């Protein structure tokens, strides 16, 4: 009787449930098939174009954040603007399929510019830069994915961190864009020493303050340069010394550009602040676009006057391309809430000449 009772208990413990929910003692019953790729809607089944469109609405770092970043105290990009990157990296660890779809997007950009507000800013940014370079050194499979690097350079242990960061950049074969959001005005020498001898031949775009101008010499194939503060005279000097003959676009430089004519006579696009002197722009015979950058919300009459001056400059040169004046208005709403109106930072008006 004991053996029979034991066998009954064993059978009961292995009972299953039929599709209608009734218990069954059949040992041969199989569990219901479960395939997450065929049963109802899920993230893996979203078409690529829809997934990309959805992810585009997540907060991310944009050009105007880089341009206005140095105005902040401390000059740091809030972590709320890095949601897209952190979300993509989380998704890439969810399943094999999402890893294949999201990993490249997650590492297309690395941002070494955010810090928690309850710790020392300079130390936090410095350690983030140090950690980022170590992670990339330990994960060589990520290096070809990275196209954009956004960074805040601080004086925290800069003699150690900046050379390591520069060496890391040199290992990125597909790096096209460097965004230096902030660098202290007294860091010129340490940046020069850290980047000396390094070459980034794949870099085409760079935005930076004058204190980081030495980085330009490491980018011989630059096509676009944006100065984020000051008159940019040191940036012009580095473009000349670096022999950046492929330069086609330069923005935010108020210093005289005549020195650049011999190096880049085919400059096509110049972005200047609204109140800039237009006369020196006649030195570039093939200029087809003048971008007037209005940070101070000038009135329509003042804007019309500068648009007229820019139009006259373009009419007098040799370019056979379509000529355009761009009026770009930056609205610094950085301090106005959690970035709900992110796209309101910039408006552009296109005037055909």
Local confidence band at 338 (pLDDT 50, 70, 90 cut-offs): very low
- Give the single-character DSSP code of 11: H
Answer for the pair 349, 292: CB distance below 8 angstroms, yes or no: no
pLDDT of res. 238: 95
What are the Cα distances from residue 184, in Å, to 220, 257, 289?
24, 25, 32
pLDDT of res. 41: 54
- Give the single-character DSSP code of 73: S
CA distance 87 to 128: 18
pLDDT of res. 44: 66
Short-list 228, 340, 325, CA closest to 269: 325
Coil vs helix vs strand at 144: helix
CA distance 107 to 141: 11
pLDDT tens per residue, range 201-260:
999 999 999 999 999 999 999 999 999 888 889 999 999 999 999 999 999 888 888 888
Answer for the pair 60, 85: CB distance below 8 angstroms, yes or no: yes
Handedness of CA 274, 275, 276, 277 (dihedral sign): positive
More confident of the two residues 254 and 9 = 254
Q: Any idea where the domains of the chain sit in the sequence?
A: 59-264, 268-353
Task: Name the least confident of 60-69, 79-88, 158-167, 287-296.
Answer: 60-69
In CATH terms, 59-264 corresponds, of 3.80.10, 1.25.40, 2.160.20, 2.60.40, to 3.80.10
Answer for the pair 230, 209: CB distance below 8 angstroms, yes or no: yes
């Amino acid at each position: 009787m004991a053996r029979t009772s034991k066998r009954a208990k064993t059978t009961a413990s292995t009972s299953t449930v039929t599709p209608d929910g009734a218990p069954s003692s059949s040992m041969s019953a199989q569990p219901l098939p479960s395939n997450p790729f065929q049963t109802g809607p899920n993230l893996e089944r979203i078409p690529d174009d829809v997934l990309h469109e959805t992810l585009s609405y997540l907060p991310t770092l944009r050009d105007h954040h880089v341009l206005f970043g140095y105005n902040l105290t401390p000059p740091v990009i809030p972590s709320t603007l890095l949601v897209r990157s952190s979300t993509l990296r989380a998704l890439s660890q969810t399943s094999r399929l999402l890893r294949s779809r999201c990993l490249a997007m997650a590492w297309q950009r690395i941002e070494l510019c955010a810090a928690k507000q309850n710790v020392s800013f300079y130390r936090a940014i410095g350690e983030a830069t140090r950690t980022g370079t170590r992670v990339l050194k330990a994960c060589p499979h990520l290096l070809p994915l990275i196209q954009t690097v956004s960074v805040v350079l601080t004086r925290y242990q800069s003699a150690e961190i900046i050379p390591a960061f520069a060496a890391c950049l040199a290992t990125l074969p597909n790096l096209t864009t460097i965004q230096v959001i902030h660098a202290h005005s007294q860091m010129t020498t340490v940046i020069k020493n850290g980047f000396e001898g390094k070459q980034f031949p794949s870099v085409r775009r760079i935005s930076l303050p004058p204190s980081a101008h030495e980085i330009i010499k490491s980018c011989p194939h630059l096509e676009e340069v944006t100065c984020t503060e000051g008159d940019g005279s040191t940036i012009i000097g580095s473009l000349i010394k670096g022999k950046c003959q492929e330069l086609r676009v330069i923005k935010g430089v108020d210093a005289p550009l005549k020195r650049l004519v011999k190096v880049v006579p085919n400059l096509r696009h110049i972005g200047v602040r609204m109140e800039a002197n237009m006369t020196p722009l006649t030195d570039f015979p093939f200029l087809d676009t003048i971008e007037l950058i209005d940070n101070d919300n000038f009135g329509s009459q003042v804007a019309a006057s500068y648009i007229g001056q820019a139009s006259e400059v373009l009419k007098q040169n040799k370019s056979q391309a379509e000529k355009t004046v761009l009026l770009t208005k930056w609205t610094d709403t950085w301090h106005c809430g959690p970035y709900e109106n992110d796209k309101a930072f910039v408006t552009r008006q296109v005037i055909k000449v």
